[in-house]
Structure formats: C-alpha cells, structure tokens
Structure 1
Amino acid sequence: MKKPVLTTAGGHPVSQNQHSLTAGSRGPLLMQDMHLVEKLAHFNRERIPERVVHAKGSGAYGTFTVTQDITRFTRASVFAGIGKTTPTFLRFSTVAGERGSADTERDPRGFALKFYTDEGIWDIVGNNTPVFFERDPLKFPDFIHSQKRDPRTGYKNPIRMWDYWSRAPEAMHQITILFSDRGIPDGYRYMNGYGSHTFSLWNNGGERFWVKFHFKSMQGIKNLPPEKAAQLAGSDPDYAGRDLFEAIEAGQFPRWKMMVQIMPELDAERQSFNPFDLTKVWPHNEYPLQEVGILELNRNPENYFAEVEQAAFSPANVPPGIGYSPDKMLQARLFAYPDAARYRIGVNYQSLPVNRPLNQVTAYHRDGGMRFDNNGGRVDNYEPNGFNGPAQDESVTEPPLRIRGDAFRYDAHRENDDFTQAGNLYRILTGEERERLTDNIAAAMRGVPAEILRPNIEHFLRCDQDYGLKIAAKVGIKL
C-alpha cells in the first residue's frame, strides 16, 4: 500500500523531513527552510500553558565570580577581570515529564543559566549531559513526540521510544549516558551542567574561537539507584527541588566550577568529526578543560510562579564577545526558544523582573499583551530618526562567521560515525557500571516487540560488541 505524501499545514508536499536546509554540509541553517520553521513554531504551541519540554523545574539566584583570565579569547564584560562578579539565576528541570511529574525519573536534566551582565542578558540553555539525542532540529519535535504520551491511549509507551531510536543511530551517545548511573542524579546539587552546544568567543582583535562550556559540581557527583528513585517518585515527587531549596535556606550554598574548552577557529576544518555536531564531544586531550570561574547559588526565589515558572531562557541572548556557531541545533534554538516564550508568557516576557536585564533597555518595541511599564512613553518607535533616539553601535560588531558550501539538505548520517564515542564511554565504565547500564536498558525495553529490539541491538553492537551482546542476552534476543 502506497504511503500518503507528507505535506506542510498548507498542503505543500514535503521533499525532505530528515535534514535541514544548510549552507554547506556543516554550515548554518537557512531561514528559507520554512518546513523547519513551521514544524518548530507548531511544536512550540502544542501545550497550554506549561512548557513543551522542561515543564517541571526548580530555580535559585546566585553569583558568578571570575577566577581565571580569558580576556585573550573574549571581550565579554562578564569575564573582564579576575574577581569580577555577575548576578545569575539558574533553573533546573526534567525534560520529558509534565509539571506534576516526579523529580527522580530517568531523564536528562535541564541546566538553564541566566547571567545579568552589564551588557545585557547572557543565557546558557543546556543540560546535565554534554551531548544530545539529535543533531538536526528538523527531528527534534519527532524525538520529543516519541517520548511523550501515546495519542491514542494517553500513557507513555516504550515501543514508541525504541521504535524511534531504532531509526536514529545519532542518539547512541546520549542513550548510553541516559541509562548509565548518571541518568538519575541525586537531586540537582550533585550533577554537572553543560552548555552542550558549540558557541564562539570573540575578542577585541576580531579573532573568533569555538568554545564548549562545562559546569563541574563542587559537591561531587551522586546518583540514585533505580529502586530508590522509584520509591521517591511515590513518596516525595518534589525531591530534587526540595533538596535544593532547603540546602540554600540552611546556608549550604551549592557551587559549580565553570570550565571551557577552546578551539581556534580554523581547527574546526581540520577535525575528523564535525565539532558543531551536538551528538559529539571534543576530545579533552586535544582541547583540555580550562577553569574560568565559580558559580554559587545563594538565594531562593520569593515566589515560584513569578520567578521560576515565568523565567524564560534563550541561547539567542548573548552579550558582545560571545557568539553562535554553525551548530544546527543551536541555530534552530535561536528561533525556537524566544518563540516559545512569546507564546507561553507573552511578547513582553523579557520585561518581567526575572528576565529583565540590569542595564537599561533602549529598544523600539511597543505594545503587545501585558505591557506593564510606560510603553516607551511619548518617544516615537522607528529608526533612524531625527529625535536623538537610540542608535546602533558599530563598536560591538561581531567578526564575520565563516561559512562555505551550497544550500542543500545534506544527509548528516552519511560518513558520520555515530557509534565510536558511545563505545568509548562504555569502555571506560567499570564492570559493575556496565552491568547496571545494560540492566537499565533491558528494563526499559520490556514489552517491546523483537522486530523493534533487533535494530536497536545492532546499534549497540556497533558501539561495542560486549555492549550489544549483554543487552541481547538480557532481553532474550538470539543473534
């Protein structure tokens, strides 16, 4: 039976639903990819009123203090001198669960950090993992749908999840992390955070460097065994949020050491892997971690709704000296995150106290729902103008972003190794950690038909033979 043709909401046939339109195989996305724009815009409006992802969360205020000088890499004022401090707000979250879900589910944890710098808001919207399940944003709504509730039954179904992953080998690295011991952190204080994406830094000399941001927990790493996590899900579903709040109230302020990996701009073209691929990590022996500063959380919000629920983050918020990269997932999030916030909270969401920068805002935006200031008063709202209104400042011009290649929907699976880094992670685990990892995966596969299990096991075998053989044995699949 012939399958129906996939169309846009306007009925136009879709030529490609696997690969976004980019300038070159590694290049940035093109806004003319309206199938991607429509897909993300619709996805952001599927739930009312909670966040589509990261719905359940907790947050706290704190400070970031510079401990090492990196001004040779960036002119960003947040790093302008050892000892400089910047106020921050950090929101932790689970990803797939609804607002009423348990804090102890096996799920990545959101790590969304807002810096109130003296040159505007800087948001790092990351997770507690250095990689993600997808490298192409065109597939993000599909992936999340596979993790959400079955549209017919209303409950979550592991068949949907493993059926999707059987066709998504790029997820293997993140799957290995998710089902390892670190898949269920013991609260938010005992886990690392990562910017995950590749960003860029640029200095006063117009030089650009690629960068990865890491936040290493100074409390150490603690994880929950599945049995304890299940018990807490029933007895204390707000376990992680409660632990964070009560620790700060007691003066036990959690801290993270901010580290960076720096890659010279032209090094990206010489790598055997795509350094802008969100499913990959950079080797630490080539690009070692460098300490930058200390993040400390030291003040709880006064009102959960006003300060945690209404907090909105966007990787598009970068001050001068920090920039983007050709990372396809990052490029889509530059659009999707503020778009989601405008829908969820309103077009003036950045005027809310928790989202407002500390420096003065001098924009020409006017009107819109929930405009609760003087709406710009009598000052007109166009530029250029003859009344001495705010004007551009060319001194903060970012250096050109190098791109190359023709616009096309490039197949990122072709000649891309989705298995070695996941296998490397498996091979550094202890024997006991490997047993727990494969036990967790086998348990999550319970009830999944053999025809879906087999292609998944093939993926694990390609990561590491022992990895795949253990899972096959535990789910009763004969190879």
Structure 2
Amino acid sequence: MAIKSTGQEESNILTTRQGHPVYDNQNLRTVGNRGPATLENYPFLEKMSHFDRERVPERVVHARGAGAHGYFEAYGMVGDEPIAKYTRAKLFQEKGKKTPLFVRFSTVIHRGHSPETLRDPRGFAVKMYTEDGNWDLVGNNLKIFFIRDALKFPDFIHSFKPDPVTNRQDPERQFDFISNTPEAMHMITFLFSPWGIPANYRQMQGSGVNTYKWVNKEGEAVLVKYHWEPLQGIRNLTTKEAQEIQGKNFNHATQDLYEAIEQGNYPEWELCVQIMSDDEHPELDFDPLDDTKIWPKDQFPWLPVGKMTLNRNPINYFAEVEQAAFGTGVLVDGLDFSDDKMLQGRTFSYSDTQRYRVGTNYLQLPINAPRKHVATNQRDGQMAYHQDIVEGMNPHINYEPSSLGGLKEAPMAGKDHMPHYNASLVRAKIDRQNNFKQAGETYRNFEDWERDELIFNLVDALSHCRQSIQDKMIEMFNACDGDYGRRVSEGLQANKMMMEKGAKSDSDEAVKQAEQVSKEAKPY
C-alpha cells in the first residue's frame, strides 16, 4: 500500500531514492573544504550510480563521437629540466619514446546522431597503451567546467538535456540552472562564444580540465594540469557558419578527421603541462583545485612534454569508437589524483558507467585491453572470454595472499606518495570561489568579433527565458564585467521591443484581414 504525503510541505522536499531527506544537495562530504572526498558519501554514490544508468546503451554524455589511432612521442624533458624530477611515469622518460594510443572526440550533451555543429563542449579522451598498463587522459576542448562539486553533475546534465516532458532542449531550463550556479559563468562565457563550436576536431584544443598530480621516485608530488595544443592551429565557428555547414552536412567533423588521416594529413597535438607545488597557494585569489578556473599562463607556463600524432582510422566504428571506454581513474605509476572534488567524482562515475554500458568485462575488448600481460584474481561476469592465467601459476588459486602458487604483489617502483590531512569531515564549499573575475578577464581578452558573437548568442538564448531568469543572469554578467552585462541587457531590451512591435503589426494585419473578410462575406 502506497504511503500518501501528509501535506504540501512534505511532498516538495528533496529526498534520496530511499526516501531520506537531502539536507545538502550542493556539496560532497570532504576532508576539509578542499577535499579529498570520502567513499561513505552515500547520497552521492546513489545519485551518480543511477545517473550512470539512465540511458541504454548509448552513453549518457559524449554519445556522438569519432576516433582514431596514433602514438605519443615523448620529449624526455619538461621545459629545460629532466622530466624525472617531477614524475617517474615511464612513458615520459626517454626522448623519442613512442607509446601507441587511441583518441575519441565527442560532443557532450547531444544524442548519437546529432549534428556536429551544435553548441556544446567537445570531449577529448586519450587512451595510451603504456608498458605499465593503460593511461586514460579524459577531458574536454575547453579548459574549465560548469561546476566544481561532483554532486551537482547529474543536475547540470539534466538541465541541458531535453525536457523530460516535451523531449526538447529548453534554454529556460539551462539558464534556470546557470542563474543559480554562479561558478558556471566562466564556462558559459566560453560556451556561448565561438569557442562553443569548434570548426572540427583537428583544430581544437584539448584539456584534462581537472588537476592531477605527478609523483617522482622519492614520492614527492606536484600538481599538474594537461593541455593538448593542435599544431594545425585553432579554428572556431560563428553561429551563422555552423548553420550553413549543418544545412549541408551534420557529420562534417567526423568526415574531416577521417579524410585527413586517409590522405596522410596526420593531425598532431603537442602535450603541455602546467606545474604547481602541492599546497593551498594562499597568494592566489582562487583555489587551484577549482575546475572552473584557469591557472594563469604567466605564473604557471605551459611546458611541452611530448607530441601526439593520429595516423590510422578505425576499421570498425562500433568495435573501436563506440565500445572505447575511458576513465579518469586509469593512471599509471608516477601519475596520481589530486584532491579536486570533481575529479574524484568523475573517477567513480566513468568506470562505473562503462561496466554498465559495455559490460563487466569491457577491459577484455581489444580497444580497451592493455598492451601488456594482465594478471588478476577477478573472474567471470557477463561476456567473459579470457582468463588471466600465468604459466606456472596454480589455476585453483584466485585469491591473495596464498602459499599455493597464487599471484604476488608487485614491488614498488619508488617511494609511495603519502599526502597528510588534518581537517574535519565536512559538507562545505571551497573558500576562494571568486566566481566572476576570470569570466570577466576572458570576456575582455576576446577579440571584438568574438564578443559580438557571444552577446548575440546569449541574447538569442535568454530571449526564451522568463524575466526573473534574465534579471539574475544580467546581474551575474555585470559582476563579470560591466560592459558584458550592459550589452546583454540592451540586447534583450531591443529584442523585446522588436518582438512587441512585430506582434502588434501581426495583430493589426489580422484585424484588417478579418474586416475585409467580413465585408466580402455574402449573406445566406
């Protein structure tokens, strides 16, 4: 028997799927304000686990994609210093060392057969088959994100996905969320500018977005951000250019990538890193673990560490591109996690999604399997076809420790990195949010045509929103930059006057037509 609500006050209270009231839907429970997050975040795990399983079998996000094979060639240095000073990861150490890889480019929000000209961040996921196992660097073309706490990820995606009733994307739903999420202003500034529609996959940047760590043989760690810089140059589209392309070809980016490789015009990207000491950096006006922020280049320069070349197209799209599975937790020795709360949430979500979407044994598929021998005590599961048996190993033993010929632990390649924490376990936002400064700087750094395009696109989208949402957005644009807010406000006012004038003209014309029909009507 269903239990009825006792009143309106109770029926609109947010709960978990177990019916537990949600007292804080904004923050993960973390060690101190900066993190790390902890595994007992049950409401988050429940929320994210359900979110990962919302669509079958298409990816919930990044459904529309294209991919290619290639290799990464290491420089052996980071700037003017040997890379071993910062990381012991083997793929970086030797100049000229080549590591095979696979890349999947994608759009984020839209479905699998959506046009590649739509305004959307682009996914940029790289899987390197290193001698120490796979390394996945999973990011986007833009260097920042909409939110800084993983608990909000399903909410953000839901607001940008189609309305659950009408099945149409609705700018009012999107800006309803954004107007209540001030940290998104930096990303919105990029997304509604030409940077929101890359011209193709070959001419767009890539970024790890989140902050990671590098660890050397002594167990010493530094914070690091990754950036892929296209050696073909960067090119973005205006709304008009995108619409013209879409009218002729909604697969243009996939076609461009495929044909370039087939013609031997192999696209290349240089991998650059920014390095920062692993502490709170009180001299900065933002938290360096905040993924809505860019680390300033003048303070933390981009240092090249290698080059990626794509030189082979897939021979089966489904087997190689669609079933390719990436995860932010797939790190090799010498690479590690930072306390970035979004990174830790993504690390759970990505691999959890792949086990559901592709299957328990998705890592046995050739596109996902490491290019080295795998030996685990994990067995069975759906679609298992390979057993990790080592010659001379006792096949009866699938546990560790054992004295009967089972698998043994590997020796450490260097000292373990052991960060120290001394903070209360809390649900709280980071201290230095500074939600508007970098968005304003980005606005001012745009060229005139980029600012014009940004204002045009924002006004067009916000015109579909109610006044209260427009007002909140204008207030936040003003907080970013006065000219930014003024131009959006004036654009909306001008748009409203045009619509009212058009409606009045249509109404007057309708009255005239009705009067004419009345005059010409013949009596029965």
Asked if the contact 1:56/1:99 (under 8 Å) is kept, the reply is yes
1:8 aligned partner: 16
Deviations 1:63-114 (A, max 9, x none): 1001241121100011021111100100000000000101110100000000
Aligned CA RMSD, in angstroms, stands at 1.5
> Structure 1's 376 and 370: CA in aligned 2 closer, same or farther, altered over 3 A?
farther
Shift of 1:375: 6.1
Partner-residue secondary structure (3-state), 1:258: strand
Asked if the contact 1:321/1:398 (under 8 Å) is kept, the reply is no
1:419 aligned partner: 436
Shift of 1:379: 4.2
Distance in structure 2 (CA, Å) of the matches to 1:380 and 1:288: 51
Structure 1: 5+ residue stretches without partners: none
Asked if the contact 1:27/1:404 (under 8 Å) is kept, the reply is no
Partner-residue secondary structure (3-state), 1:134: coil
2:69 aligned partner: 61
1:299 aligned partner: 312
Deviations 1:41-84 (A, max 9, x none): 00000001100000000000011001241121100011021111
Letter in 1 for 2:131: D
> What aligned pairs does 1:275-314 form with structure 2 within 5 A after superposition?
275-314=288-327
Asked if the contact 1:27/1:405 (under 8 Å) is kept, the reply is no
> What aligned pairs does 1:71-220 form with structure 2 within 5 A after superposition?
71-220=84-233
Partner-residue secondary structure (3-state), 1:13: coil
Among 26, 49, 55, the residue aligned to 1:18: 26
Asked if the contact 2:287/2:432 (under 8 Å) is kept, the reply is no
Asked if the contact 2:75/2:92 (under 8 Å) is kept, the reply is no
Distance in structure 2 (CA, Å) of the matches to 1:364 and 1:81: 33
> What aligned pairs does 1:228-377 form with structure 2 within 5 A after superposition?
228-266=241-279, 268=281, 271-374=284-387, 376=389
1:35 aligned partner: 43
Distance in structure 2 (CA, Å) of the matches to 1:263 and 1:324: 14
Shift of 1:28: 0.6
Asked if the contact 2:114/2:250 (under 8 Å) is kept, the reply is yes
* 4-13 or 121-130: bigger deviation: 4-13
> Structure 1's 218 and 415: CA in aligned 2 closer, same or farther, altered over 3 A?
closer
Partner-residue secondary structure (3-state), 1:259: strand
Note if 1:398 corresponds to 2:419.
no
1:474 aligned partner: 491
> Structure 1's 301 and 379: CA in aligned 2 closer, same or farther, altered over 3 A?
farther
Partner-residue secondary structure (3-state), 1:266: coil
TM-score (norm: length of structure 2): 0.89
Count matched residues: 477
Shift of 1:267: 6.0
Shift of 1:387: 2.6
Shift of 1:281: 1.0
1:221 aligned partner: 234
Note if 1:409 corresponds to 2:409.
no
Asked if the contact 1:366/1:376 (under 8 Å) is kept, the reply is no
1:458 aligned partner: 475
Partner-residue secondary structure (3-state), 2:100: strand
Partner-residue secondary structure (3-state), 2:356: helix
Shift of 1:11: 1.1
Partner-residue secondary structure (3-state), 2:470: helix
Letter in 1 for 2:298: N
Letter in 1 for 2:408: A
Distance in structure 2 (CA, Å) of the matches to 1:332 and 1:276: 13
Asked if the contact 1:346/1:370 (under 8 Å) is kept, the reply is yes
Asked if the contact 2:160/2:173 (under 8 Å) is kept, the reply is yes
Distance in structure 2 (CA, Å) of the matches to 1:444 and 1:104: 16
Letter in 2 for 1:204: K
> Structure 1's 442 and 312: CA in aligned 2 closer, same or farther, altered over 3 A?
same
Partner-residue secondary structure (3-state), 1:138: helix
> Structure 1's 254 and 379: CA in aligned 2 closer, same or farther, altered over 3 A?
farther
Letter in 2 for 1:319: V
Partner-residue secondary structure (3-state), 2:85: coil
Partner-residue secondary structure (3-state), 2:135: strand
| Aligned-residue identity in percent | 45
> Structure 1's 398 and 444: CA in aligned 2 closer, same or farther, altered over 3 A?
farther
Distance in structure 2 (CA, Å) of the matches to 1:379 and 1:88: 35
Distance in structure 2 (CA, Å) of the matches to 1:210 and 1:417: 21
> Structure 1's 415 and 269: CA in aligned 2 closer, same or farther, altered over 3 A?
closer
Asked if the contact 1:66/1:85 (under 8 Å) is kept, the reply is yes
> Structure 1's 79 and 375: CA in aligned 2 closer, same or farther, altered over 3 A?
closer
Larger radius of gyration: 2
Shift of 1:348: 0.7
Asked if the contact 2:285/2:432 (under 8 Å) is kept, the reply is no
Distance in structure 2 (CA, Å) of the matches to 1:408 and 1:72: 35
TM-score (norm: length of structure 1): 0.97
> Structure 1's 375 and 361: CA in aligned 2 closer, same or farther, altered over 3 A?
closer
2:516 aligned partner: none
* 263-272 or 124-133: bigger deviation: 263-272
Asked if the contact 1:130/1:194 (under 8 Å) is kept, the reply is yes
Letter in 2 for 1:347: T
Distance in structure 2 (CA, Å) of the matches to 1:267 and 1:449: 41
